[in-house]
Amino acid sequence: MVNRQDLVNYCADYLSVDKFKDYCPNGLQVEGCEEITHIISGVSANLALIEQAIDEKADALFVHHGFFWKNEDAKIIGIKRKRIAALIANNINLFGYHLPLDAHIKVGNNIQLAKKLAIRNPTPIGDTLVWQGEIDMSLSQFGQSVESTLKRKPLIFGDDNKQLKRIAWCTGGAQSYIDHAIDVNADIFLTGEVSEQIPAISQENDIAFISAGHHATERYGVQSLCQHLSDKFDLKHQFIDIDNQV
């Protein structure tokens, strides 16, 4: 069991929350019960995940995509009201960690994806959110590995026979960060989403590109964080995956 405020403080320190200028508040977003014994992790705080947390009688829900994003309507109406009302009615705490969870060197989305894909020598590129590492296979072989690991078919741009040595990646909607991959002479850039201009950028810079799914690439950080919290504070932990094709 852990006190809610102790958990807030620990996560803020462990994830270095104050170092990030983010698009949403990081930390406790909706207050629930004070003493926590059972936590659930998931990618996004949608109603389906909240309802499963209620069914499992969780004390806290940890997500990568929480509430209160910049430039969204601040009014608590419609689906936002339903989500928040369900959490409050069942006294469930909602913790959301966005960029701090992408960047963390032990439990973050990027390092955890590297482990899943057996990328060697993973390291951040400077002070960016993009990482680089090493693989040794063709684009076709790596695409098959991504599909097998993430359980979804990725979009792949490039020559199937291209031999890959240096990879750069960033989970989620990081397609605009392809320039960082080009700057370090990566053979391939992997992220979650793709925009209209990316195939041309990929071709013109002779860099392969894989869009492996925003949700699919960001399943692992929140699980790893909550497993760490479970071990440290002796908490029951479950990961619940509400599948998302994007």
pLDDT of residue 166: 98
Global model pTM greater than 0.85: yes
The arithmetic mean of pLDDT across residues 202-212, rounded, is 98
User: CA geometry: angle at 27 spanning 56 and 100, to 5°?
Assistant: 110
pLDDT of residue 149: 98
Percent of the chain with pLDDT over 70: 100
pLDDT of residue 19: 96
Work out the angle between the directed axes of helices 78-89 and 47-55 (0-180°, nearest 10): 10
Percent of the chain with pLDDT over 90: 100
Note the pLDDT tens digit of each residue in 93-146.
999 999 999 999 999 999 999 999 999 999 999 999 999 999 999 999 999 999
Under CATH, which architecture does the 109-217 domain have?
A: 3-Layer(aba) Sandwich (3.40)
Closest by CA to 194, choosing from 172, 216, 179, is 172
Cβ atoms of 71 and 90 closer than 8 Å: no
Cβ atoms of 207 and 186 closer than 8 Å: yes
Note the pLDDT tens digit of each residue in 49-102.
999 999 999 999 999 999 999 999 999 999 999 999 999 999 999 999 999 999
pLDDT tier for residue 216 given thresholds of 50, 70 and 90: very high
pLDDT tier for residue 165 given thresholds of 50, 70 and 90: very high
The 3-state DSSP class for residue 30 equals strand
Note the pLDDT tens digit of each residue in 166-188.
999 999 999 999 999 999 999 99
CATH 3.40.1390.30 domain range(s) in the chain = 2-98, 109-217
Fold of 2-98: 3.40.1390
| DSSP class of 72 | S
